[in-house]
Amino acid sequence: MISIRTTLLALLLGLGATAAVTAVAQAPAAATAKPATAKATFAGGCFWCMEEAFDPVPGVVSTVSGYMGGKTKNPTYEQVSGGRTGHAEVLQIEYDPNRVSYEKLLEVFWRNIDPTQPDGQFCDHGSQYRSGVFYHDDEQKRLAETAKAALLKNKPFKGEIVTEITKAAAFYPAEDYHQDYYRKNPVRYKFYKTGCGRAARLKQLWG
């Protein structure tokens, strides 16, 4: 099934639009050594939308859209979006644990996905758009499973939670034109997000 976003990208690329990757660092440069940072990786359908959700979170240092969970090395967007590689679109986050906890990042993640939708998110269908937590260590796994169990107990919506919790694998950054897409192409991005019904479904799920 061809998604709204795939059609939009075909039009955008067909017009010859290109964009350079812009910096996404959220924290100001420090005069002293930077504090230790950690990584978190989430799959929530369109990685453009996940960037928009996580970039404003205090303590998030940077975000990179990419692919994880498949078998093909160095996959392209065309391969992943065609559902031929097994990858999911993901957002890899570098964050400062002294400013934001992994539990907080999980909270942001859950509130920005439809955990009841199998093999897709909103108008985007296929395993490449599945929702999932890719944990980087045993502590992240424990926290993700705890958060999922709590949601199962207290969820404000009906439906089974199908979001996967999987060990992180090789991460492949997406092409340059995907990075910071919501900032660089606000009109096209708004058209996609509205047409995909993401905001309306999130409101229905979470209030």
DSSP conformation letters of 59-95: TEEEEEEEEES-SSSS--HHHHHTT-S--EEEEEEEE
Is residue 46 annotated as part of the catalytic site, yes or no?
yes
Query: Which pairing describes strands 124-125 and 120-121: parallel, antiparallel, or unpaired?
Result: antiparallel
Q: Among 158, 174, 147, which Cα is nearest to 64's?
A: 174
Report the alpha-carbon distance of residue 44 to residue 187 in Å, rounded: 21
Locus of tokens 């939708």 = 117
Helices (H), the chain: 4-14, 47-54, 77-81, 102-110, 138-154, 181-184, 186-196, 198-206
- The answer to whether 92 and 63 are in contact (CB under 8 A) is yes
Q: Two tokens at 3?
A: 């998604």
How far from 207 is each of 118, 161, 190, 201, 202, CA to CA, in Å? Answer: 21, 17, 21, 9, 7
Active-site pick, 46, 49, 123, 196: 46
Residues with catalytic function: 46
